[in-house]
Amino acid sequence: MKGIRNIVVLTGAGISAESGIATFRGPGGLWEGHRVEDVCTPEALAADAELVHRFYDVRRAALATVVPNAAHDALARLDAEWPGELLIVTQNVDDLHERAAAKRMLHMHGELRSALCAACGSREAWSGDLPPGSACGACGAGALRPDIVFFGEMPYEMERIEAALARCDLFVSIGTSGAVYPAAGFVQTARHYGAETLELNLDPSAGSVFFAESRMGAAGVLVPDWVAEVLGWDGSTFRPGRS
């Protein structure tokens, strides 16, 4: 019998959809009028830095117009109350998890409110526009770029994520299409190490078949229900597993 003590939650654009932030792969395959490949690659940055910086400037400014929704709030509650290990891994570059007060979380694809120095690799908190050529606070080079993990670049904190996946008893994926690796492969890694797996999404993701259980619906409804369920498993211990 294996109980559930350690949980890894992966979130994607779907968890922020009800806050009013567009997902990436909506109808038509366009991300707010741009093909993802036109704004989210090192090649795009090299070819047209103005366009790429401006694109993320607009996304950064839009953060001021949105607030966390019931799903972010529920995960923050899970973080505050779950007595076992928890790691919330978000692919999102918005800051809605932390504004909901989640602490045990990380951004694997970077953050809009951060700038990355292409010269020395340091990262610094950023608000407002980030024009190409902005000076790095650490090395002084005019090489700051949006701190976004572009296609072909290595996501952040992969060692920490892999370690958490290897230890977890339950892996939960929320609001992600399963189209982008390595995040899309986390369910298989977690399964490999014996974790239970649950998907909460509006539509079945590309990797839906790998989940032991899938619940379809809006994150703003499914996530609070699931968190209430988890926190109600037992007042003092953890839920006994099925096998």
If binding is defined by CB under 6 A, does position 36 make contact with ligand OAD?
Answer: yes
* Binding-site member from 7, 8, 9, 18 for ligand OAD (CB under 6 A): 18
Supply the minimum distance, in Å, between the C-beta of residue 58 and ligand OAD: 14
| Interface with ligand OAD, residue 218, by CB under 6 A | yes
The number of beta carbons lying within 10 Å of the beta carbon of residue 129 is 13
Of 229, 200, 223, nearest to 68 by C-alpha is 223
What gap in Å lies between CA 82 and CA 76, rounded to an integer? 10
In 3D space, the residue among 117, 1, 112, 4 whose CA is nearest the CA of residue 64 turns out to be 112
Binding residue for ligand OAD (CB under 6 A) from 179, 208, 214, 225?
A: 179
Residue 114 binding ligand OAD, by CB under 6 A: no
What is the crossing angle of helices 70-81 and 219-231, to 10°?
A: 20
Is residue 91 close enough to count as binding ligand OAD by CB under 6 A?
yes
Cα gap 74→109, rounded to integer Å: 22
* Binder among 4, 8, 13, 115 for ligand OAD (CB under 6 A): 13
Does 93 bind ligand OAD (CB under 6 A)? Our answer is yes
Q: Is 148 in the site for ligand OAD (CB under 6 A)?
A: yes
Query: Using CA atoms, how far apart are residues 71 and 77, in angstroms rounded to an integer?
Result: 10
109 assigned to active site: yes
Name the residue number minimizing CB distance to ligand OAD.
Answer: 14
- What is the rounded CA–CA span in Å between residue 184 and residue 109? 13
Q: Does 219 bind ligand OAD (CB under 6 A)?
A: yes
Q: Which two tokens stand for residue 207?
A: 């990797």
Q: Which residue of 202, 208, 215, 241 would you call a contact of ligand OAD, by CB under 6 A?
A: 202
Query: What burial class does residue 25 get, using C-beta atoms within 10 Å of its C-beta: 0-12 exposed, 13-18 middle, 19+ buried?
Result: middle
Q: Does 159 bind ligand OAD (CB under 6 A)?
A: no
Interface residues with ligand OAD (CB under 6 A) are: 12-14, 17-18, 23-25, 36, 40, 91, 93, 109, 148-149, 175-177, 179-180, 201-203, 205, 218-219
Active site amino acids: 109
